[in-house]
Amino acid sequence: MSTSVTRQSTSGGWGLLARVAPLRRRLRTEAGSAGLLLAATVAALLWVNSPWGGSYEDFWHTEFAVRFAGAELALDLQHWVNDGLMVFFFFVVGLEIKRELVLGELTDRRRAAVPALAAVTGLAVPALVYVGFTLGDEAASAWGVVISTDTAFLLGVLALVGPACPAQLRLFLLTLAIADDVGALTVIALFYTEDLAVGPLVLALLGLALMVGLPYLNVWRGPAYLVLGIAVWIAMYLSGVHPTLAGVVIALFTPAYAARRDEVADAARLTRAYQQSPNPEFARAARLSIDRSVSASERLQQLWQPWTSFVIVPVFALANAGVPFTGETLRTAATSPITLGVVAGLVLGKLVGILLGTGLAVRLRLGELAPGLTWLQLAGGAALSGIGFTISLFIVDLAFDDEGRADQARVGVLVASVLAALLGWALFRVADRRRPPGAGIRPVLLDPPVDLERDHVRGPVDAPLTLVEYGDFECPFCGRATGTVEELRERFGDRLRYVFRHVPLVDVHPHARLAAEAAEAAGAQGRFWEMHDRLFAGQDRLMPTDLLEYAAAVGLDVSRFARDLGSGRFARRVEEDVESAEASGVTGTPTFFVNGRRHTGPFDTDSLTAALLAAAGEEALSPSGDDGLTGLVVPALGQRRGQSRPEAGDVPADVPADLPESPDRDGAFPRLTDEQIALVERSATRLRCAPGDTLFREGDAGYAFHVVVSGTVAIVEDLGRPDQRVISVHGPHRFLGELDLFSEQPVSLTALVLQPAEVLRVEREQLRQVFTADPALKEMVLRAFLLRRSRLLELAADLRIVGRGGSPDSRRLQELARSHRLAAGFVDLDAGGDGAAVLAELGVTEDDLPVVVWRHGGVLRNPSDDEVLAAVETPD
């Protein structure tokens, strides 16, 4: 957590991390990881073919030994990389396979059937091609070199050379690559395992069984898994089974599941407890509960994927791609059946195999191609699948004992990867030329736009910001997104309207369509959002009996609801949403549209907040400059409730200079960090103030945003009057003001300097620039202003009378307040200011005057004395 004395490296701050932040963001892409892998490969080739090429072999064959209690494990550095570090690579691959089997594309067997069959033929055909070139030679046993696809390279190159919007193709190839990885790992386990030692293998299985049992003992994180993981790796190594397979097996036994609502709720409860009472015990409990609410599989994948993509795999390439390109090596490779078989298998075999499997799956009606995906685009992706780099080089190391033959295979892998990339690029260019103008481009605009007569809108219908979600009531990811939407609605308030449209994924979620129709049936009775919330809260219970239970719970006419649901009355309404999803380029749920444009990337609260602010631009701050947060600002707060009135002759006391700062118990008075102070100062004027100076005064037409750099400043009501009072006191790094900063009403409070101070003054127009540069700062300031407004309302008079000064009824109500000792303030609309705006905000007219505004917000129009007294006796 940042404090006023801590610098934080951000993209807009100081330090080395800030300078390299743009590079880090670029690297965190598929193209970036593929680029690092390519750079490591080139580095290995340059190193081994340089005048210092001998040092390459010397370095990677340097022995490194681990000794413990008389036992020793000695390997050279290359094998520590291949047998040790690559365990983490295969662990991440296994986690991805597990996730797809449980939560992703492979859960829908029909949807996965086409790429799965394509993966099988994509494994078999290249192997047959390679064996055809090496038949009769013992090198034929190395057919596993040509079977696998390098997923990282594939997706990276696809991002660079693929079609403009390859969403369907990318999904197809990703599913194919996962099935491909399953096949390749099976081949490694069955065909490239050395002499099997049963004893260590039994110990490895025992270690795996213990790891599976740990969650049942409520041990789900920490050192126990690390110790058992190391033990399983050593046992696998000693058994003769390649130890990297330990990573895959451990991953497949790692729990993967959608976030569980009870655990998420428990995490939220413990987090609130920590927020209310920050201490180490609550902090640890909150952290552990948050970890527990997300499956171990997802946590571990997020932890290790960057390390494998940006460190481990590049190091593997550096250790294995170093092939000396001597004249003799190249001449031998040019005629070597090994090299030719590897090139033909990866470049031609993969292309033919994948297209063959896809065609068979479609013809046998096992599935169909995604809409908009052409066969030429598919051929381009199949060609890119011939980039077998990482696992191909890995199997080279397993399959060949002769280093010369291994180098021939490595040359084949490198050449095949280049040729496959070029072939894929060429096929994509041909597909682009044959595509009609505008065809195949995935839409990005909402089609049709929001229709207030048809769509379900949550929030003000005329709000300037619009968030549309296409969702599925049975989709766990949509269930998670409900929390995001609620946080956004809380953040933006009346400036955001939220629209929900249906995309029931019936192939994956069999109850989703009926649930969507149930929401529409509830909408016909004016209860759409109540049913919407119920369905997501119980998305694991969506049988018809459950839907009837929910209908009763939200107060529907259950008989009518059951009749509408049974007749399919709203089936077409749901289908219209599905059609609009297809027209809008929706390919999965949840998909969000921000002000009519499809949002790409994460859909967490911060990401969608940034998208909403970016889409709105200056609209996020209303053209009038009020930020959309202007409320009724009464020129005087009036006497504090329960406080005796001063006598007319009383003289106000001086405000003491040594008043302590007001405590920040709920976020109303936060301190800015050094980075935020520096950002504000770029648009500010620095003032040096003496005690007794004022930064703004009651009655001023308006004021600027002020940040105290040093000294103290008090906010005072009725300064100089007998009933003056100090509202709050602010010290270094605190900012002044509240919601009336954005109002055109006269200022109601005075900022008085108590001790010599330096203050930053930012005019309201410049403040917009500061808020645009740092949305997080804007949110913190606005939230603090809201909290301050609530405090002022708590301090305010019991009632405020709004009327004309010369009105007999206005005088009557003021006298009634005095005679019954009610703390009251009077707003004289004849005294200046925009009276029309005040009336509009209260929702009253001149005919209603005078009006009485209660502290809790109620309004009485020209009330009688009895009506006022009755309201006084009614609790808030």
Peptide bond into 448 cis (omega under 30): yes
What phi, psi does 861 have (nearest 5°)?
-95, 120
Alpha helices in 294-386 (DSSP H): 296-307, 313-320, 327-335, 337-344, 350-363, 375-384
* Tokens 């809008």 -> residue: 584
120 phi-psi bin (left φ>0, alpha ψ -120 to 50, beta other)? alpha
According to the model, what pLDDT value does residue 752 have?
Answer: 94
End-to-end Cα spacing for the chain: 39
Nearest to 151 by CA among 44, 301, 32, 30: 30
Report the SS3 class of residue 625: coil
Measured between alpha carbons, how far is 299 from 520 in angstroms, rounded to an integer?
Answer: 37
State both tokens at 502.
């249906």
Q: Is the Cα dihedral 81, 84, 88, 93 positive or negative?
A: positive
Q: Is 763 exposed, middle or buried (0-12, 13-18, 19+ CB in 10 A)?
A: middle
* Tokens 């050379």 -> residue: 161
Measured between alpha carbons, how far is 184 from 395 in angstroms, rounded to an integer?
Answer: 10
* Tokens 């995604």 -> residue: 370
Residue 453 identity (one-letter amino acid) = E
State both tokens at 683.
């648009």
Q: Name the pairing type of β-strands 799-803 and 824-828.
A: parallel
Contact 126, 120 (CB under 8 A): no
- Under-50 pLDDT residues of the chain: 1-28, 164-165, 438, 440, 617-649, 875-876
Nearest to 338 by CA among 123, 124, 148, 137: 137
- Output the pTM of the full model: 0.48
Measured between alpha carbons, how far is 803 from 860 in angstroms, rounded to an integer?
Answer: 12
* Tokens 């609410």 -> residue: 293
Contact 497, 537 (CB under 8 A): no
What phi, psi does 717 have (nearest 5°)?
-100, 140
Contact 355, 389 (CB under 8 A): no
Q: Is 742 exposed, middle or buried (0-12, 13-18, 19+ CB in 10 A)?
A: buried
List, for residues 124-136, the tens digit of each pLDDT value. 999 999 999 998 8
Q: Facing residues of 194 across strands?
A: none
According to the model, what pLDDT value does residue 732 have?
Answer: 95
What is the b/e burial string over 255-283, where b = at least 16 CB atoms within 10 angstroms of the residue's CB?
A: ebebbebebbebbeebbebbeeeeeeebe
State both tokens at 226.
């690390």
CA 245 to each of CA 183, 231, 308, 506: distance values in angstroms, whole numbers, following the listed order: 13, 14, 16, 36
Contact 14, 678 (CB under 8 A): no
DSSP tally for the chain: helices H, then strands E: 34, 16
Q: Residue 499 gets which letter from DSSP? A: E
Contact 484, 603 (CB under 8 A): yes
Measured between alpha carbons, how far is 281 from 295 in angstroms, rounded to an integer?
Answer: 23
Q: Is 566 exposed, middle or buried (0-12, 13-18, 19+ CB in 10 A)?
A: exposed
* Tokens 């909290």 -> residue: 787
